[in-house]
Amino acid sequence: MKAFDYQRADSAQAAAAMAANAQGVRFIAGGTNLLDLMKLEIERPETVIDISRLPLDAIEDTEDGGLRIGALVTNSDLAADARVRRDYEVLARALLSGASGQLRNKATTGGNLLQRTRCFYFYNRAMPCNKREPGSGCAALEGRNRIHAILGGSEHCIATHPSDMAVAMMALGASVEIQSPDGKTKTLALSELYRLPGDTPHLETELEQGDLITGVVLPAPVGGRQIYRKVRDRASYAFALVSVAAVIGLEDGKIGSAQLAFGGLAPMPWRNSDLEDALIGQTPSPELWGRAADILLADAKGHGENDFKIALARRTLAHVLDAACGGEK
Amino acid sequence: MDVNFKMDKPVERSLLDTTNQNIISRPLDRIEGPLKVSGRAKYSAEFKLPNMAHGVLVGAAIGKGRVKEIDVKSVEALPGVLMVVTDTEKFLRNPAQGMDTEAPKQGVTSIDYFGQPIALVVAETFEAARNAANALSVTYEDAEGRFDFDARIDTAKPKKDSEKNQGDVDDAMRSAHANVDAKWTTPSQSSAAMEPHASLAHWEGQKLVLYGSYQMLSSNRLQLADAMGLDPEDVRILAHYVGGGFGAKLGIGPESVAAAVAAKDLGRPVRVVMTRQQVFEATVRRSNTVQHLQLAADAEGRLTGVSHETITGNLEGEDFSEPASAATQFLYSGANRRFGNEIVLMDQVLAGSMRAPGEAVGMLALEGAMDELAELLDVDPVELRKRNIPERHPTSDLPFSSRSLAECLEIGARDFGWSKRKSAPASTLEGEWWIGHGMATAARSNMLIKSSARVTLQPDGRALVETDMTDIGTGTYTILAQIAAELLGLPIDAVDIHLGDTNFPPASGSGGSFGAASAGTSVYLACEKLRQTIAEKLGGEVEDLVLSDGMARMGNTSEPLSELIAEPLEATATVEPGETGKAFVQAGFGAHFAEVAVHAHTGEVRVRRMEGTFAAGRILNEKTAISQCFGGMVFGIGTALTEDMMHDHRYGHIVNRDLAEYHLPVNADVPQLKVKFLEERDHAANPLLAKGIGELGISGAGAAIANAIYNACGVRVRDYPITLDKLIDHLPDPKGL
């Protein structure tokens, strides 16, 4: 681990201001991902700003019936919150499918959104990786890419985003509250927070220097059936090969509302409005699930070892939609 | 008082069957358990010596070539850095193989695998050393590496003396009523012990003292002495507690020599703890294998031919090749037989022994092939195995020392409810899950290795056992205490066990499932000698001596041991293998039964229950023995479903080199496990009449799961691990049921 300066912020504004003017700054809260990366020197911050004592650990009702989740709410607390369990079941289930009990006790909402990829090559400093070292190349494209993206990747990077929580939040239409260094706050839809890799895979979000995520806002619950289905290589403590977050409402035997997001497939939690539009107003049927998968996977591209994810995503989507529309859960 | 005993003829009567203390075999808790759960059991990396410095190894960042330059100046100025050791003369290219008596390859200027240790950075703190190790500037000259096993498989060369031929397998295959002829593949695996390899070296004058996390101290001492150019008498190794080994700590690793060299140069104790990534990259793996199985059977389901040929990889200069046919050679009958191993030279981390080398992966293939044969013959898989239990060894014609295989199969099947199994695949759908049942035989060779121990009866009535035997989490402390307490008539808490120090008599070490029987026998023999001495003191025959509750009784005389003994009474005993090792086939046997669920849509596999029925001679402690079997069965789950050490074919490195991405089974993957032992005594094995158990539980376990997967969903996967991607394209349509 490279030696670093440690600073403690006493307000979100101060934290953002401190980060605005320093080089190589990282905020630290739970540290469950950052510390590992620092030990491996994949992250080598000059300065670490400790935000863990900021008063950002509340879960509050919003005026329009939604929920505001402080950035420092731990994954465990969020999953256990009565309102989350009642109204946003998909989020509680996604949280509990991630990491381990010990990690969830430390990991925070803001940090979870910003965790880095688990690409094997990103994790090995001797390997080319455009995300870790821009311009060095992507070793995963023609390498061991069983866990890599089939959607949204580029010829520069096919790493996936590892979060489960963010997938559920994406399906729920969450937005992110941000404290800027200039003292202002702004709000971004979660779908606008992340960037696709393109030719700059090292730039993962639209956050600007000094921006600090202070909370996540969930819109009022939409009802319907909520499912988070995570498919992985072992029963627990593994990242998703494919995950599906679904919030589906039925009206008179037809699909009235459909919000779907996918993990394990892309460099960011993946949502496709065409797919949702194609479901709404339709009668559930295996054929409809097939058409939905066709839309989702129209641009899917396998890279060898991850080819199976295309079939797996198709199968998992059908099985989740079936369960959400009254089949077995 | 020294005793030397050679196991030349079967032992008719074991003292353990006559002493009636009710200590041996009982499921006692580990005596060192409280120390471990309260953090007081000190592992090698937990020792702190005055003025200790910290070393971090630097591994090669290329897979083949040589180091052009290590720019020591690039880190010398970093805070806390003390020195950079680049001693190519002494550095080990790779760890020693188990039981080697010499150092592994040294003086290597080439880089033969990715991560090969090339330098040690030593600093005042671990953090500073790790930072400097990351910062060390090294320039390399790349060379073409041999990284792609499949592409190189045609270059495989026979392993010396591995070929065995009997009769004509090809002819048997041609004339068979039914035959199986297929290839199985298994990936590289890592032992992934919880405790990483660690060494703390310091010098007392010309003598080297090393706290090292190793399994076999007496041979480790010879390896380290040879590596450092020292007399073995001048090397002391300590390993009081070892946090798992599974073969990866059989031989000394590169961190030991690096620590010793640095400690000498610096004149300070130096501790080197490998990172998790280095444990994967620079210790030892189980080689990937390609196994060609051929089974030929007649119309009655009797085997007429058995062939098991294996191809593995290893580094140049290393001739270890996973002996996958080890159990195949004696388990089933068949007049025509063929076995052999071939090695492909690879520029990849050392391949060596990992838990049950041979059987662990060999039985995945053999027992899979037996399952396929049973289906072809329309014979129940249990019945097919029973029908092919040979009278004597099919090649050597030697008798088996003890073998309760048929009983294990029968009782295991009964307990599991095997008769309720539907033999047609894809017959049972529960919700979204296909349910299936599978079984496999367990078999693992039994060995006895030379081992010594000293037992001292103290005037205060306590006994002290000293040996350089290790306890790698298996329960050695406890079973040695049980043997001594049983034979000396003492409560177990009146026995002190001192292990893991080469100052004590040299033991077998922990490996090959021989530790309990070998070290245990040495303690048995020393106690036997002490009993004789006590009998003499009482003026009678040892046959009439009763030791119980700290009292010695002879006829009508009864005296407390503490009064009988004025001076410490000491006996050192050594056991050596002898003629019974050659005159009998010795192995533990058992039967695995598994129930799995395969998700009809996603292909996820969950093991729902797993039962093992084993017979391994006398069970020395039912609790630690069951734990050993549990551990083996969990290994079997990992082998069948998740574990795959992935090599990169272009760069040569191990891609998934941490516990997040190298998928060992976690709690949620492990269902209710059941283990049952059948009563058995093996008189040819050792005076304890016990056989090894540490590796029996893994042997065959994965195959039972694979066979259950086939029974569940009708997909036969011969390429381990059976991950869902290998199933989803072939899953049956649940609506067809």
What tens digit of pLDDT does each residue of A227-272 get?
999 999 999 999 999 999 999 999 999 999 999 999 999 999 999 9
Distance, in Å, from the CA atom of B477 to the CA atom of B510, rounded to the nearest integer, reads: 12
Which residues have C-beta within 8 Å of that of residue A182, sequence separation ≥ 6? none
Closest CA to B595 of B704, B720, B725: B704
Inter-chain touch A39–B130, beta carbons under 8 Å? yes
Averaged pLDDT, B501-523 = 97
> Using CB atoms and an 8 Å cut-off, which of residues 139-158 of chain A contact chain B?
139, 142-144, 146-147
Distance, in Å, from the CA atom of B365 to the CA atom of B173, rounded to the nearest integer, reads: 17
Inter-chain touch A124–B666, beta carbons under 8 Å? no
Residue of B nearest to A146 (CA): B725
Averaged pLDDT, B714-719 = 98
Inter-chain touch A312–B602, beta carbons under 8 Å? yes
What tens digit of pLDDT does each residue of B308-321 get?
999 999 999 999 99
Question: Pick from B432, B602, B669: which is nearest to A235 by CB?
Answer: B669
What pLDDT, on the 0 to 100 scale, is given for residue A329?
39
What pLDDT, on the 0 to 100 scale, is given for residue B737?
63
A58 touches chain B (CB under 8 A): no
Distance, in Å, from the CA atom of B276 to the CA atom of B593, rounded to the nearest integer, reads: 34
Per the omega criterion (within 30 degrees of 0), is the bond before B721 cis? yes
Question: Pick from A308, A311, A328: which is nearest to B432 by CB?
Answer: A328
Which regions of B421-534 does DSSP assign to beta strands (E)?
A: 429-430, 433-445, 451-457, 463-466, 495-498
What pLDDT, on the 0 to 100 scale, is given for residue A286?
95
Residue of A nearest to B644 (CA): A233
Categorize the per-residue pLDDT at A326 as very low, low, confident or very high, splitting at 50, 70 and 90. Answer: confident
Categorize the per-residue pLDDT at A42 as very low, low, confident or very high, splitting at 50, 70 and 90. Answer: very high
Residue of A nearest to B433 (CA): A328
> Using CB atoms and an 8 Å cut-off, which of residues 132-151 of chain B contact chain A?
134
- Is the predicted pLDDT of residue B609 greater than 70, yes or no? yes
- Is the predicted pLDDT of residue A285 greater than 50, yes or no? yes
B49: region left, alpha or beta (phi > 0 left; psi from -120 to 50 alpha): beta
> What is the least distance, in Å, from the CA of B679 to any CA of chain A?
36
- Mean pLDDT over each residue of chain A, to the nearest integer: 97
> Using CB atoms and an 8 Å cut-off, which of residues 273-312 of chain B contact chain A?
277
Bigger pLDDT: B271 or A328? B271
Distance, in Å, from the CA atom of B350 to the CA atom of B376, rounded to the nearest integer, reads: 39
Q: Which regions of chain A carry the CATH code 3.30.390.50?
A: 225-325
What structural domains and CATH numbers belong to chain B? 2-41+449-577 (3.30.365.10), 44-145+191-285 (3.30.365.10), 398-447+583-736 (3.30.365.10)
- Mean pLDDT over each residue of chain B, to the nearest integer: 97
- Contact predicate B233/B316, CB 8 Å: no
CATH architecture of A59-114+161-218: 2-Layer Sandwich (3.30)
Averaged pLDDT, B414-430 = 98
- Contact predicate B237/B38, CB 8 Å: no
What pLDDT, on the 0 to 100 scale, is given for residue B517?
97
Averaged pLDDT, B459-474 = 97
Place of tokens 């859960």: A329
Range B36-44 contact pairs with CB under 8 angstroms and sequence separation of 24 or more = B36/B241, B41/B240, B41/B241, B42/B240, B42/B241, B43/B195, B43/B198, B43/B213, B43/B240, B43/B241, B43/B242, B43/B243, B44/B198, B44/B199, B44/B200, B44/B211, B44/B212, B44/B213, B44/B238, B44/B239, B44/B242
What tens digit of pLDDT does each residue of B546-588 get?
999 999 999 888 999 989 999 999 999 999 999 999 999 999 9
User: Which site among B62, B724, B729, B733 would you substitute to test the A interface, given the most A Cβ atoms closer than 10 Å to its Cβ?
Assistant: B724
B653 touches chain A (CB under 8 A): yes
B432 touches chain A (CB under 8 A): yes
What pLDDT, on the 0 to 100 scale, is given for residue B259?
98
Distance, in Å, from the CA atom of B228 to the CA atom of B236, rounded to the nearest integer, reads: 13
Query: Is B604 in the active site?
Result: no
Question: Pick from A41, A235, A308: which is nearest to B666 by CB?
Answer: A235
- Contact predicate A242/A263, CB 8 Å: yes
Distance, in Å, from the CA atom of B284 to the CA atom of B315, rounded to the nearest integer, reads: 11
B669 touches chain A (CB under 8 A): yes
What tens digit of pLDDT does each residue of B102-137 get?
999 999 999 999 999 999 999 999 999 999 999 999
Q: What residues in A contact B603, CB-CB < 8 Å? A: 312
- Is the predicted pLDDT of residue B524 greater than 60, yes or no? yes
Q: What residues in B contact A328, CB-CB < 8 Å? A: 431-432
A315 touches chain B (CB under 8 A): yes
> Parallel, antiparallel, or unpaired: how do β-strands B605-615 and B672-677 relate?
parallel
Categorize the per-residue pLDDT at B734 as very low, low, confident or very high, splitting at 50, 70 and 90. Answer: confident
What tens digit of pLDDT does each residue of B180-206 get?
999 999 999 999 999 999 999 999 999
- Is the predicted pLDDT of residue B95 greater than 90, yes or no? yes
- Contact predicate B224/B256, CB 8 Å: yes
Cα angle at A314 between B724 and B659, to 5 degrees?
35
> Using CB atoms and an 8 Å cut-off, which of residues 583-602 of chain B contact chain A?
601-602
Taking domain A225-325, whether its CATH number is 1.50.10.10 is answered by no
- What count of CB pairs under 8 Å joins A to B? 95
A125 touches chain B (CB under 8 A): yes
For a pLDDT cut of 90, what percent of chain B falls above it? 98
A231 touches chain B (CB under 8 A): yes
What pLDDT, on the 0 to 100 scale, is given for residue A23?
82
Which regions of B93-241 does DSSP assign to beta strands (E)?
A: 110-111, 117-123, 137-142, 157-158, 164-166, 178-186, 189-190, 198-204, 207-212, 235-238
3-state secondary structure of B437: strand
Q: Which regions of chain A carry the CATH code 3.30.465.10?
A: 59-114+161-218
Categorize the per-residue pLDDT at A328 as very low, low, confident or very high, splitting at 50, 70 and 90. Answer: very low
End-to-end C-alpha distance for chain A, whole angstroms: 46
What pLDDT, on the 0 to 100 scale, is given for residue B28?
98
Place of tokens 């607390």: A77
> Using CB atoms and an 8 Å cut-off, which of residues 505-534 of chain B contact chain A?
none
Token pair in block for residue A81:
């919150």
Distance, in Å, from the CA atom of A263 to the CA atom of A272, rounded to the nearest integer, reads: 12
pTM here is 0.98
What tens digit of pLDDT does each residue of B300-311 get?
999 999 999 999
What pLDDT, on the 0 to 100 scale, is given for residue B736?
63
Distance, in Å, from the CA atom of B150 to the CA atom of B168, rounded to the nearest integer, reads: 29
